[in-house]
């Protein structure tokens, strides 16, 4: 990739501190997202004005939602503008502040975006930056994973929508990913029997051997639907949908009466999101929702903002009691962010995918 070679040839690993490396959205993708959809630029580091603080990115979260935000289909948040910096959730450190409520050295969570430096300005930021507690007893990365949007998504989807009862069967797609791996473990803690669907034998082994899933099915194997039948002899009471598409179509006929579907994501379709194209075909067996009196509910984690402390407390308790395992795939370098996003859709990650951009002072 021309921009990567250019960055590395110019600086090797050490970037000058006065440069703000940024990825701008060059063009809206019409298919699989890739480096060709971004422009790499280097700009001066901005200086904070009164009411602003300068945030340096430490970790950047790579999320399937990045691909949603690049398209201009109707959504829950405005699309990233063409020519604008790519939106991204991150953890950063305040390096200079002209705000009373933020001071240099503090660690903050927010939309650092795909760049080294962002200005924390509540009148400009789409989501205000939130300071982290001063003395964190967990690794920094957990604040973007199990204790961040990832873990909280699992928590609220299960507690408020799925409500699994003891002994019920919960099937989770993209089960070895960030959200899915937490969903399965919390459902286990709630007494459910958890079945994961993931894209490799190794991921399936991780789910059963390390995370306590009762069974796991590799959806890339030819006989995966027969494996799913064998793993769900009593049908499916909760289907946690991270992917939509063909896996959703296989889940629907296996649902029991009064089953619940948590519509968390549709990532198998994101790469076809394009406002100028016909929408993807819906599930062909949609009628199963009627026949089985199924509840299907979509949700967006931001809807639960006021209850974040509740989720964080519960997740922290499970973590410290050793009841919740959390895996992170941490990759190096902001300069490869576009490739990391593309690779995620090919299954590169186990658990939460994060880019390490820099170290805190
Ligand atoms: P993941 O960590 O699960 O990463 C994506 C994984 O999905 C890949 O590793 C890959 O694993 C799997 N995958 C990729 N393409 C397909 C496909 N076509 N069919 C099946 N699996 C596929 O990401 P997250 O945990 O961050 O997100 C999971 C879902 O949750 C997404 O849909 C996301 O948008 C949604 N989400 C929703 C939120 C909300 O508020 N509603 C909040 C956060 C996330 P494999 O090797 O198994 O294929």
C-beta 299 within 6 A of ligand 1: yes
C-beta 311 within 6 A of ligand 1: no
Which ligand 1 atom sits closest to the C-alpha of 350? 9
Segments in 124-274 forming alpha helices (H): 149-156, 178-189, 201-209, 224-231, 245-251, 267-270
Chain segment 47-69, per-residue pLDDT in tens: 999 999 999 999 999 999 999 99
Local structure of 111: helix, strand or coil = coil
- Please report which confidence band the pLDDT of residue 1 belongs to, taking 50, 70 and 90 as the band edges: very low
Tell me what pLDDT residue 11 has: 41
Least-confidence region, from 32-36, 115-119, 133-137, 247-251: 133-137
Local structure of 253: helix, strand or coil = helix
- Please report which confidence band the pLDDT of residue 336 belongs to, taking 50, 70 and 90 as the band edges: very high
- Please report which confidence band the pLDDT of residue 17 belongs to, taking 50, 70 and 90 as the band edges: low
C-beta 199 within 6 A of ligand 1: yes
C-beta 198 within 6 A of ligand 1: yes
- Spacing, Cα 63 to ligand 1 middle (Å): 8
Nearest residue by C-alpha to atom 11 in ligand 1: 347
Quick one: which H or E segment has residue 256? Answer: strand 255-263
* pLDDT of 12 strictly over 50: no
Contacts of 313 (CB under 8 A, 6+ apart): none
Tell me what pLDDT residue 218 has: 98
* pLDDT of 211 strictly over 50: yes
Tell me what pLDDT residue 128 has: 94
Tell me what pLDDT residue 15 has: 46
pTM to 2 decimal places? 0.95
- Spacing, Cα 140 to ligand 1 middle (Å): 22
Are the C-beta atoms of residues 214 and 193 closer than 8 Å to each other? Answer: yes
Are the C-beta atoms of residues 37 and 338 closer than 8 Å to each other? Answer: yes
C-beta 176 within 6 A of ligand 1: yes
- Please report which confidence band the pLDDT of residue 3 belongs to, taking 50, 70 and 90 as the band edges: very low
Nearest residue by C-alpha to atom 8 in ligand 1: 347
- pLDDT over 90 percentage in the chain: 91
- Spacing, Cα 47 to ligand 1 middle (Å): 37
Are the C-beta atoms of residues 338 and 38 closer than 8 Å to each other? Answer: yes
Are the C-beta atoms of residues 256 and 237 closer than 8 Å to each other? Answer: yes
Chain segment 69-90, per-residue pLDDT in tens: 999 999 999 999 999 999 999 9
- Please report which confidence band the pLDDT of residue 276 belongs to, taking 50, 70 and 90 as the band edges: confident
C-beta 11 within 6 A of ligand 1: no
Chain segment 222-257, per-residue pLDDT in tens: 999 999 999 999 999 999 999 999 999 999 999 999
C-beta 271 within 6 A of ligand 1: no
Separation CA 240–CA 358 (nearest Å): 35
Mean pLDDT of all residues belonging to the chain: 94
Question: Which of 267, 345, 351 has the most ligand 1 atoms within 8 A of CB, as the residue to mutate?
Answer: 267
10 Å Cβ neighbour count for 102?
20
Residue of 290, 272, 291, 271 whose CA lies nearest to 280: 272
* pLDDT of 281 strictly over 80: no
* pLDDT of 13 strictly over 50: no
Which ligand 1 atom sits closest to the C-alpha of 246? 19
Nearest residue by C-alpha to atom 45 in ligand 1: 199
Which ligand 1 atom sits closest to the C-alpha of 299? 41
Tell me what pLDDT residue 136 has: 85
- Spacing, Cα 347 to ligand 1 middle (Å): 9
Tell me what pLDDT residue 113 has: 98
Burial of 274 (0-12, 13-18, 19+ CB in 10 A): middle
* pLDDT of 221 strictly over 50: yes
Chain segment 312-331, per-residue pLDDT in tens: 999 999 999 999 999 999 99
* pLDDT of 179 strictly over 70: yes
C-beta 251 within 6 A of ligand 1: no
- Spacing, Cα 346 to ligand 1 middle (Å): 10
């Amino acid at each position: 990739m021309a921009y990567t070679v250019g960055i590395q040839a110019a600086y090797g690993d050490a970037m000058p501190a006065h440069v703000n490396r940024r990825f701008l959205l060059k063009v809206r993708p019409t298919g699989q997202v890739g480096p060709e959809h971004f422009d790499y630029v280097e700009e001066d580091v901005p200086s904070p004005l009164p009411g602003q603080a300068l945030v340096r990115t430490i970790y950047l979260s790579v999320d399937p939602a990045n691909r949603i935000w690049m398209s201009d289909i109707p959504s829950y948040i405005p699309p990233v503008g063409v020519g604008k910096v790519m939106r991204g959730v991150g953890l950063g450190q305040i390096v200079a502040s002209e705000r009373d409520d933020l001071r240099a050295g503090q660690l903050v969570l927010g939309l650092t975006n795909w760049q080294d430096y962002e200005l924390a300005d509540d009148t400009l930021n789409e989501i205000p930056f939130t300071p982290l507690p001063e003395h964190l007893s967990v690794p920094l990365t957990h604040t973007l994973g199990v204790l961040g949007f990832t873990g909280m998504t699992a928590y609220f989807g299960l507690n408020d929508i799925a409500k699994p009862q003891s002994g019920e069967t919960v099937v989770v797609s993209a089960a070895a990913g960030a959200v899915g791996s937490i969903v399965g473990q919390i459902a286990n803690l709630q007494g459910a029997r958890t079945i994961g669907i993931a894209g490799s034998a190794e991921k399936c082994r991780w789910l059963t051997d390390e995370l306590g899933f009762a069974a796991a099915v590799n959806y890339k194997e030819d006989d995966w639907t027969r494996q799913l039948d064998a793993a769900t002899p009593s049908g499916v009471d909760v289907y946690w949908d991270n992917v939509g598409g063909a896996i959703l179509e296989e889940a629907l006929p296996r649902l029991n009466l009064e089953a619940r579907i948590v519509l968390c994501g549709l990532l198998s379709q994101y790469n076809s999101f394009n406002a100028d194209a016909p929408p993807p075909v819906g599930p062909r067996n949609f009628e199963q929702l009627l026949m089985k009196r199924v509840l299907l509910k979509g949700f967006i984690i931001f809807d639960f903002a006021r209850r974040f402390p509740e989720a964080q407390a519960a997740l922290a308790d499970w973590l410290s009691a050793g009841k919740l395992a959390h895996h992170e795939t941490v990759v190096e370098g902001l300069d490869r962010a576009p490739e990391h996003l593309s690779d995620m859709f090919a299954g590169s990650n186990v658990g939460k995918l994060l880019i390490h951009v820099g170290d805190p002072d």
